[in-house]
């Protein structure tokens, strides 16, 4: 299955709901907003509700709807306007920095508890392996019971090396070991799993800062990438998470997981808008292949495409 | 970040001070703020709509409009209506159940089922029950092992059969409980999407096999608008008797809880409030309502304090206060205790009335300053710490050099300390003097404390110090 099919597969339920409601809205508005005709209040409200119910958030919704209204009535359909507005938001994010020759390339995976960090590492390792690389996973979640064992199983499935420590060990020291060992074994990239932590816990957050500092000592300018894993079901708190993790751990991108449910992960739109953070990958299932690189263009297209 | 709802509504009404009555337009403006705040708290938008309509009906009442404090009246209406939505359902498990009672934990991936199972096991054991846990999660790597490790930590037995059939594992645990005399069986299940037909069928099969009295849906407090869809589907397919709301120790407003309760019609049984296995509490509607409104969360603050403060330490301190033996050593311990409770700002944010950080911005407590004070005290000799009156000029110079501060700072600290001792002594003797600044600590009803050892915090805890700083 190629990217598009997989994403489409994962998003089909999401799409049906958004699209279904969208057609309803346009229908309610009559034959659609004809040129010169103002859009009915009910339509605007329904549009707001549509975006709110996708967890896009109040602020981002107001901005999107506001801009859509400004441009409405010039012949474009409401759907095209919303679509282009969301795409514009995704397009305005910071570009993903090109792999700048760091070897090994160190990626830190961070996030609150239960978003799917360990699973994402397993899938990422598989993805890199499939593209001919030799990744090394590092089990730095020494807090949650059996987290290391969970990652070991994923490492076996993806057939990649793992550096682990015993439960309760200092995570920063495990990261240091992993980078040293990765270099010795010629592994690249190095994917670091960290313990889930709520962004409000100052002491746990400062642990991430320490991991960063120690990583930088083991490899020049490491970590080269910091991915925040967000659960697609997350509500407005996702924005707070993104903000805090970015300020402490220097997040460079988002992985949106569990997009195979009915949740739409609309918070990603708000995050892209407010923090200019790109979405790097999307998790669309429990299988090892169910992680796909994110493409804003195709994502928005998939959400709003007429027919599959 | 989030502006508290109460602040928002107060702001709307602030400009009206002096006017005799409120106009319906002004109420509408306030309602808009309420609507936004609830949406930002992730309350389902349909629920918000119906809710705002109800509040509007009551708020347009003439007695509210003409009231001297219309803002507070409106907030009170909001609060009452929110509480009404939660109903008077008490948290906890269903009242009666056959022995052994079976509790089934279900929910989406990553909501915290396995952790909740262990927490609940510990909670039950503390209630004098004999729980047996079993994992039926044969899908997630190492999930079974995770429950075993947690069971060890919680000192709760975990049943580990060889079979990898989820239904057989659950059934086996029930048989084991009957044979060995366990009175409660906790069945952890694999996380699943509510639209995954096969897995929902599996869940029904587990339910049929063990006939649980409690079907607890474990939900992440940070869930957004999708909450009712998933909870509703679990309820429809398998049935849910209660919700466990997890990860409430973050800054999520937990509005999803309201949606689930009012749309799906299932009460909230427990809340998870921390990473430790002890951090599971019975649900109290008033607490989450306060949290959603951003009205400060006194109870959470008390709990934080309870976590940070060693009971014996606190009692010793009280004894010292009564005898006026409070020393610089004790002061330093207190400072450390406060810092253990987390960032000072978030601690202060929980105090009702100090809610919005906005107001605190000009008067931000300085954590560095606390560090300097600690350094000063640490540079004193044990004798000086025990008796601050011996600290003369030359000792002050030495302390200043040792702590990298100045004699002026030492002077200021000692002056403050003397003053504080005086105030603390008065508190220790029972009289709460006007401490100024509007830091009021409301009296909490004993039962609201929830924790089995819910001992009321006596005066003389760290509160006095927060104020004096």
Share of chain B above pLDDT 70, in %: 72
- Residue B336's H or E segment, with its range, is helix B328-340
B75 with B38: CB under 8 angstroms? no
Beta-carbon separation of A262 and B346 below 8 A: no
- What are B297-310's pLDDT values in tens digits? 555 566 566 666 66
Q: Which of A149, A147, A215, A212 is nearest to A177 (CA)?
A: A215
Q: Among residues B254, B296, B288, which one has the least CA distance to residue B82? A: B288
CB contact under 8 A, A52 and B39: yes
Pick the residue with more confidence: B439 or B426?
Answer: B426
Query: Cβ–Cβ of A200/B250 closer than 8 Å?
Result: yes
* Average pLDDT across chain B, whole number: 79
Query: Strands A291-293, A279-283: parallel, antiparallel or unpaired by DSSP?
Result: antiparallel
How many whole angstroms separate alpha carbon B173 and alpha carbon A232?
A: 34
In this predicted structure, what is the pLDDT of residue B366? Answer: 62
Tens of pLDDT along A102-112?
A: 889 999 999 99
List all residues of chain A from 18 to 77 with a beta carbon under 8 Å from chain B.
49, 52-55, 57-58
Q: How far apart are CA B292 and CA B82, in angstroms?
A: 9
pLDDT value of position A260:
83
Instruction: Examine the pLDDT at B176 and tell me if it is beyond 90.
Output: yes
Q: E strand or H helix at A138, and its extent?
A: strand A136-140
Residue A84 contacts B where some CB pair is shorter than 8 Å: no
Helix residue spans in A131-161 (DSSP H): 147-158
Q: Is the pLDDT of residue B382 over 70?
A: yes
ipTM (interface pTM): 0.84
3-state secondary structure of B223: strand
Q: Which of A58, A113, A233 sits opposite B224 (nearest CB)?
A: A233
Average pLDDT over residues B441-454: 35
Q: What is the pLDDT of residue B345?
A: 56
Is B36 within 8 Å of A58 when comparing Cβ atoms? yes
Answer for the pair A295, A303: CB distance below 8 angstroms, yes or no: no
Determine, for residues A114 and B249 on separate chains, whether the beta-carbon distance falls below 8 Å: no
Position B441 confidence tier, pLDDT thresholds 50, 70, 90: very low
Q: Phi and psi dihedrals of B178, rounded to 5?
A: -60, -45
Compute the nearest-CA separation of B211 from chain A (Å).
28
Give the gyration radius of chain B's Cα atoms: 26
Kindly list the residues from chain A whose CB atom is less than 8 angstroms away from the CB atom of residue B160. none
Strand-strand pairing, B280-282 and B268-272? antiparallel
Length of chain B: 469
Q: Which long-range contacts (CB under 8 A, 24 or more apart) does B432-439 make?
A: B432/B459, B435/B464, B435/B467, B437/B467, B438/B353, B439/B351, B439/B353, B439/B354, B439/B463, B439/B466, B439/B467
- Report the residue of B117, B226, B279 to disrupt the A interface, i.e. the one with the largest count of A CBs within 10 Å: B226
CATH of region B302-433: 1.10.260.30
Measure the CA–CA gap between B363 and B353, rounded to whole angstroms. Answer: 14
* pLDDT at residue B467, as a whole number: 32
Residue predicted with more confidence, A229 or B57:
A229
Residue B388 predicted with pLDDT over 90 = no
Among chain B residues, the shortest Cα distance to A115 is held by B110
Q: What is the DSSP letter of B363?
A: G
A97 or B463: which leads in pLDDT: A97
- Residue pair A193/A109 in contact (Cβ under 8 Å)? The answer is yes
**Mode of pairing for the β-strands spanning B242-246 and B268-272:** parallel
Interface list for A 87-106 with B (CB within 8 A)? none
pLDDT of B69 above 80 = no
Q: CA neighbours within 13 Å on the CB side: how many for B178?
A: 8
B153–A145 C-beta distance less than 8 A: yes
Q: Which of A103-107, B158-162, B311-315 has the highest mean pLDDT?
A: B158-162
Of B111, B251, B342, the CB nearest to A237: B251
Residue B277: which pLDDT band, with cuts at 50, 70 and 90?
Answer: very high
Quick one: A36 exposed, middle or buried, by C-beta within 10 A (0-12, 13-18, 19+)? exposed
Does A115 touch chain B if contact means CB atoms closer than 8 Å? yes
For B128-222, strand residue ranges (E) read: 131-135, 157-159, 184-188, 214-220
Give the pLDDT score at B370. 78
Superfamily of domain B101-295: P-loop containing nucleotide triphosphate hydrolases (3.40.50.300)
Is B137 or A13 the better-scoring residue by pLDDT?
B137
- The domain limits of chain B are 3-85, 101-295, 302-433
| Residues of chain A where predicted confidence (pLDDT) is lower than 50 | 1, 15, 30-36, 305-308
Looking at beta carbons, which residues of chain A come within 8 Å of B146? Answer: 144-147, 149-150
* Residue-by-residue DSSP string for B173-191: HHHHHHHHT-SEEEEE---
At A25 the three-state DSSP class reads helix
- In chain B, % helix, strand, coil (3-state, to 5) comes to 55, 10, 35
**Dihedral angle, C-alpha B322, B325, B329, B331, nearest 10 °:** 40
Q: Do B40 and A58 touch (CB under 8 A)?
A: yes
Q: Minimal Cα–Cα distance from B310 to chain A, Å? A: 19
CB atoms within 10 A of CB A109: 26
**pLDDT above 80 for B465:** no
pLDDT of residue B32: 85
Question: Which residues of chain A neighbour B119 with C-beta distances below 8 Å?
Answer: none
In Å, how far are A75, B55, B383, B459 from A100, measured between CA atoms? 45, 57, 60, 59
Three-state SS for B458?
coil
Q: Coil, strand, or helix at residue B452?
A: coil
Structure tokens at B286: 């008033």
Cα distance between residue B82 and residue B288, in whole Å? 10
Of A200, A233, A236, the CB nearest to B108: A233
**How far are the Cα atoms of A61, A270, A279, A291, B155 from residue A92, in angstroms, in the given order?**
17, 12, 12, 23, 52
Alpha-carbon dihedral angle through residues B98, B99, B100, B102, given to the nearest 10 degrees: 20
CATH match of B3-85 with 1.20.120.140: yes
pLDDT score recorded for residue B84: 86
Contact call for B250 and A112, based on CB within 8 A: yes
Q: How far is CA B246 from CA A87, B229, B269, in A?
A: 34, 18, 11
DSSP, collapsed to helix, strand or coil, labels residue A106 as strand
Tokens 């450390």 belong to residue: B336
**pLDDT tens, position by position, B92-121:** 898 888 999 999 999 999 999 999 999 999
Beta-carbon separation of B45 and A114 below 8 A = no
């Amino acid at each position: 299955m190629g990217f598009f099919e997989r994403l489409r597969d994962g998003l089909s339920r999401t799409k049906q709901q958004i699209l279904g409601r969208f057609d309803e809205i346009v229908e309610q508005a009559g034959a659609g907003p004809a040129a010169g005709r103002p859009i009915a209040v009910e339509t605007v409200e329904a549009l707001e509700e549509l975006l709110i119910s996708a967890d896009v958030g109040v602020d981002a919704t107001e901005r999107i709807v506001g801009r859509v209204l400004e441009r409405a009535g010039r012949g474009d359909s409401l759907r095209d306007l919303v679509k282009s507005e969301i795409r514009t938001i995704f397009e305005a994010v910071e570009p993903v920095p090109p792999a700048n020759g760091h070897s090994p390339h160190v990626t830190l995976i961070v996030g609150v508890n239960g978003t799917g960090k360990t699973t994402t590492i397993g899938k990422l390792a598989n993805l890199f392996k499939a593209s001919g690389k030799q990744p090394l996973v590092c089990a730095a979640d020494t807090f949650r019971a059996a987290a290391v064992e969970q990652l070991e199983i994923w490492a076996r499935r993806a057939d990649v090396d793992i550096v682990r420590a015993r439960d309760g060990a200092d995570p920063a020291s495990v990261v240091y070991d992993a980078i040293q060992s990765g270099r010795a074994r010629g592994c690249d990239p190095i994917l670091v799993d960290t313990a889930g932590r709520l962004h409000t816990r100052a002491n746990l957050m400062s642990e991430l800062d320490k991991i960063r500092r120690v990583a930088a000592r083991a490899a020049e300018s490491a970590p080269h990438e910091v991915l925040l894993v967000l659960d697609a079901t997350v509500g407005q708190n996702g924005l707070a998470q993104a903000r805090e993790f970015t300020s402490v751990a220097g997040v460079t991108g988002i992985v949106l997981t569990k997009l195979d449910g009915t949740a739409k992960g609309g918070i990603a739109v708000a995050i892209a808008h407010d923090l200019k953070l790109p979405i790097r990958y999307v998790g669309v299932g429990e299988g090892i292949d169910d992680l796909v690189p994110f493409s804003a263009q195709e994502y928005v297209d998939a959400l709003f495409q007429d027919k599959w | 970040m989030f502006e508290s709802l109460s602040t928002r509504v107060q702001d709307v009404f602030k400009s009206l001070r002096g006017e005799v009555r409120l106009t319906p337009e002004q109420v509408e403006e306030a309602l808009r703020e309420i609507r936004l705040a609830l949406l930002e708290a992730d309350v389902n938008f349909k629920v918000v709509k119906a809710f705002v309509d109800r509040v509007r009906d009551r708020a347009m009442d003439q007695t509210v409009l003409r009231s001297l404090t219309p803002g507070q009246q409106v907030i009170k209406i909001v609060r009452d209506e929110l509480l009404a939505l939660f109903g008077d359902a008490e948290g906890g498990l269903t009242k009666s159940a056959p022995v052994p009672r079976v509790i089934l934990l279900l929910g989406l991936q990553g909501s915290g089922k396995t952790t909740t199972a262990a927490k609940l096991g510990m909670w039950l054991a503390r209630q004098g029950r004999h729980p047996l846990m079993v994992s039926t999660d044969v899908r997630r790597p190492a999930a079974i092992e995770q429950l075993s490790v947690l069971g060890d930590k919680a000192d709760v037995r975990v049943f580990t059969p060889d079979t990898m059939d989820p239904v057989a594992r659950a059934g086996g645990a029930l048989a084991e409980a009957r044979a060995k005399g366990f009175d409660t069986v906790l069945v952890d299940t694999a996380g699943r999407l509510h639209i995954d037909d096969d897995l929902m069928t599996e869940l029904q099969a587990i339910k049929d096999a063990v006939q649980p009295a409690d079907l607890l849906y474990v939900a992440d407090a940070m869930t957004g608008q999708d909450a009712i869809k998933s909870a509703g589907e679990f309820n429809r397919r398998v049935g849910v008797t209660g919700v466990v709301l997890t990860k409430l120790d973050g800054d999520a407003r937990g509005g999803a809880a309201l949606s689930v309760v009012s749309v799906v019609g299932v009460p909230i049984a427990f809340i998870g409030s921390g990473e430790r296995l002890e951090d599971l509490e019975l649900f109290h509607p008033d607490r989450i309502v306060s949290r959603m409104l951003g009205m400060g969360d006194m109870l959470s603050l008390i709990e934080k304090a309870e976590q940070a403060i060693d009971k014996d330490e606190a009692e010793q301190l009280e004894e010292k206060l009564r005898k006026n033996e409070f020393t610089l050593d004790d002061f330093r311990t207190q400072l450390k205790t406060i810092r253990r409770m987390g960032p000072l700002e978030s601690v202060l944010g929980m105090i009702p009335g100090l809610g919005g950080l906005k107001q605190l911005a000009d008067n931000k407590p300085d954590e560095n300053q606390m560090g300097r004070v600690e350094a000063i005290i640490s540079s004193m000799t044990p004798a000086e710490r025990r008796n601050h009156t011996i600290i003369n000029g030359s000792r002050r110079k030495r302390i200043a050099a040792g702590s990298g501060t100045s004699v002026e700072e030492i002077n200021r600290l000692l002056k403050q300390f003397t003053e504080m001792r005086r105030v603390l002594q008065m508190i220790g003797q029972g009289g709460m003097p006007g401490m100024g600044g509007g830091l009021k600590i409301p009296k909490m009803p004993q039962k609201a404390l929830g924790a089995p050892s819910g001992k009321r915090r006596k005066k003389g805890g760290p509160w006095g110090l927060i104020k004096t700083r």
